[in-house]
Homo-oligomer: A and B are copies of this chain.
Amino acid sequence: MRILIVEDEAGIVSFLKQGLEEEGFVVESASDGQTGLQLALTEHYDLLLLDWMLPKLSGIELCRSFREQESHTPVIFLTAKDTVQDTITGLKSGANDYIKKPFHFEELLERIRVQLRSSETPHVLTLGPITVNTETHEVQIGITPVSLTHKEFQLLEYLLRHKGKVCKRHHILDSVWGMDGNADSGVIDVYINALRKKLNLQREEDYIQTIRGVGYIAREK
């Protein structure tokens, strides 16, 4: 999960960054509104943490501009202000929640979790140039669409959901084929083969690698 912090006080940024990274988030930050907006629009984040008062572009303006493009990504305000009118303005600009400084880190964390709860399982998986959208069931290699059968799709999804980890044949059979402890008939090989062909992966720099005697692994680069 990727989080963007836009905040000008370096101390707060490093405090948040450390805490959130410990929780397993990937954190990036910007110290003024303008670069923050730019990042928010060009990169992909799962959540934005915005300070209220920012150099160049205020948090509210940032939020409003961002919402014109993106309506999904949750936004949480960090605010020192606490007049009612201000928070209302903030929520009206399209924010999903706000938290008043000073706050306990745990409380922030819980609020982040609440916001992310809906987007817990990513629908778009990637591997190098390959994109798998589990919502639309579309697979693309680069820009060109690839048509996969259901089993091929399921296998690819499984591999990508475990990207960077070895997928034992046993486990693949379990989750994709639903065979509990059944014998290995060699189906997997056939489908791996089909995938490599359809996605035309060269053997040289193979995104789907064979781990002899164990299974397969989807790896970047």
Contacts and interface: CB of A to CB of B under 8 A. Distances in A.
Interface in A83-138: 84-85, 87-88, 91-92, 96-97, 104, 106-107, 110-111, 113-114, 134-137
Nearest to A115: B96
Contact of A96 (B107, B114, B164, B165): B114
Contacts of A164: 135-136
Given A84-B104, A110-B91, A211 B137 contact: yes
A127 to B, nearest CB: 15
A149 interface: yes
Interface residues of A, number: 31
A interface: dominant SS: mixed
Contact of A110 (B88, B114, B149): B88
B106 A84 contact: yes
Interface of A: 84-85, 87-88, 91-92, 96-97, 104, 106-107, 110-111, 113-114, 134-137, 149-151, 164-166, 211-214, 217, 219
